[in-house]
């Protein structure tokens, strides 16, 4: 079997591409399609899967891609049953992301990493989980002494880091090299599956480094800013911070 290209991991800004249909199967809610290459993110690490469309070159028919997910190493595209029928194996199609949604998720994901970076660097608290939707997200920390005053301080520090226009880099490291980086240990890198030969990392240069599969903006200036919208205790030690994005101010 050919290796299928998964561009979301190497180029987060790739939003449309031509591809051929490799397999079509019937899912519960509509056809499920695998392409020889794709720009769709399949979801994971708290970042939801992309949505978009698939357009067939031969007759201009379009299908809505409701969601994508990983299955057996492939990224599969779930089409909307309501569109009727399905493309066929071998068809040439153009796939197009719902870019406004994806880009908002990229900004949100990078903002959450900036939050993790500040909370770890300045307060020594580890992240235990997180989730996001376009423009808003939450992170959970082992952070016993969190308070309202502290949260306001964290918000200001995160905004300072975002405004510092830090580059955001994607790296793929051999497993041994990744496991030798102390900063990666805190992000539960030891929970990664045994067999994987490489570890993908996201680095906000000078602030944060994490093993991560998601899509991010290339520079924190694209995030704009954040507002902390709430914080709550999930127990004596576990605390949750919620944030939403503020749009960048045009130069």
Residues 42-101 touching Zn ion, rule: CB under 5 A, are 45
With respect to Zn ion, which residue has the nearer C-beta, 203 or 212? Answer: 212
Residue with tokens 């519960």: 28
Is the Cβ–Cβ distance between 88 and 24 less than 8 Å? Answer: yes
- By CB under 5 A, how many residues form the interface with Zn ion? 3
With respect to Zn ion, which residue has the nearer C-beta, 86 or 215? Answer: 215
Binding segment (CB under 5 A) for Zn ion, from list 19-27, 69-77, 214-222, 226-234: 214-222
CA dist., res. 239 & res. 151, Å (int): 11
Q: How far is the CB of 187 from Zn ion (least distance, A)?
A: 9
Is the Cβ–Cβ distance between 243 and 229 less than 8 Å? Answer: yes
CA distances in angstroms from 211 to 84, 86, 97, 124, 184, listed in the order given: 40, 37, 25, 18, 7
CA distances in angstroms from 13 to 8, 42, 102, 218, listed in the order given: 8, 15, 9, 9
With respect to Zn ion, which residue has the nearer C-beta, 53 or 108? Answer: 108
CA dist., res. 24 & res. 28, Å (int): 13
Residue 53 in tokens: 């469309």
CA dist., res. 152 & res. 9, Å (int): 34
With respect to Zn ion, which residue has the nearer C-beta, 175 or 188? Answer: 188
* 137 is a contact residue toward Zn ion (CB under 5 A): no
* 208 is a contact residue toward Zn ion (CB under 5 A): no
CA–centroid distance for 241 within its chain: 18
Q: How far is the CB of 41 from Zn ion (least distance, A)?
A: 12
Is the Cβ–Cβ distance between 86 and 16 less than 8 Å? Answer: no
Q: How far is the CB of 21 from Zn ion (least distance, A)?
A: 31
With respect to Zn ion, which residue has the nearer C-beta, 37 or 166? Answer: 166
Q: How far is the CB of 144 from Zn ion (least distance, A)?
A: 23
Neighbours of 193 (CB within 10 A): 5
* 212 is a contact residue toward Zn ion (CB under 5 A): yes
* 214 is a contact residue toward Zn ion (CB under 5 A): yes
Q: How far is the CB of 56 from Zn ion (least distance, A)?
A: 34
* 117 is a contact residue toward Zn ion (CB under 5 A): no
From residue 153 to residue 192, the character string flagging contacts with Zn ion as x (rule: CB under 5 A) and all else as - is ----------------------------------------
With respect to Zn ion, which residue has the nearer C-beta, 66 or 102? Answer: 102
Residue 98 in tokens: 């719902």
Q: Which residues here bind Zn ion, judged by CB under 5 A? A: 45, 212, 214
């Amino acid at each position: 079997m050919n290796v299928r290209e998964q561009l979301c991991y190497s180029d987060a800004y790739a939003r449309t591409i031509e591809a051929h249909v490799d397999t079509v199967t019937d899912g519960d809610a509509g056809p499920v399609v695998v392409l020889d290459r794709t720009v769709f993110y399949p979801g994971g690490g708290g970042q939801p899967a992309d949505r978009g469309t698939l357009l067939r070159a031969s007759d201009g028919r379009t299908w809505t891609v409701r969601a994508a997910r990983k299955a057996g190493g492939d990224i599969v595209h779930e089409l909307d049953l309501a569109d009727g029928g399905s493309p066929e194996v071998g068809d040439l199609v153009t796939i197009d992301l719902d870019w406004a949604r994806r880009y908002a998720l990229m900004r949100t994901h990078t903002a959450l990493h900036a939050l993790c970076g500040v909370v770890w660097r300045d307060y020594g608290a580890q992240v235990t989980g997180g989730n996001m939707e376009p423009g808003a997200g939450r992170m959970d920390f082992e952070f016993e002494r969190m308070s309202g005053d502290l949260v306001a301080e964290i918000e200001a520090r995160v905004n300072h880091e975002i405004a510092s226009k830090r580059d955001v880099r994607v790296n793929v490291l051999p497993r041994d090299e990744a496991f030798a980086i102390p900063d990666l240990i805190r992000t539960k890198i030891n929970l990664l599956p045994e067999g994987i030969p490489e570890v993908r990392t996201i680095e906000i240069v000078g602030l944060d480094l994490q093993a991560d599969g998601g899509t991010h903006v290339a520079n924190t200036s694209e995030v704009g800013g954040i507002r902390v919208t709430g914080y709550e205790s999930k127990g004596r030690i576990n605390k949750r911070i919620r944030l939403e994005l503020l749009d960048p101010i045009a130069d």
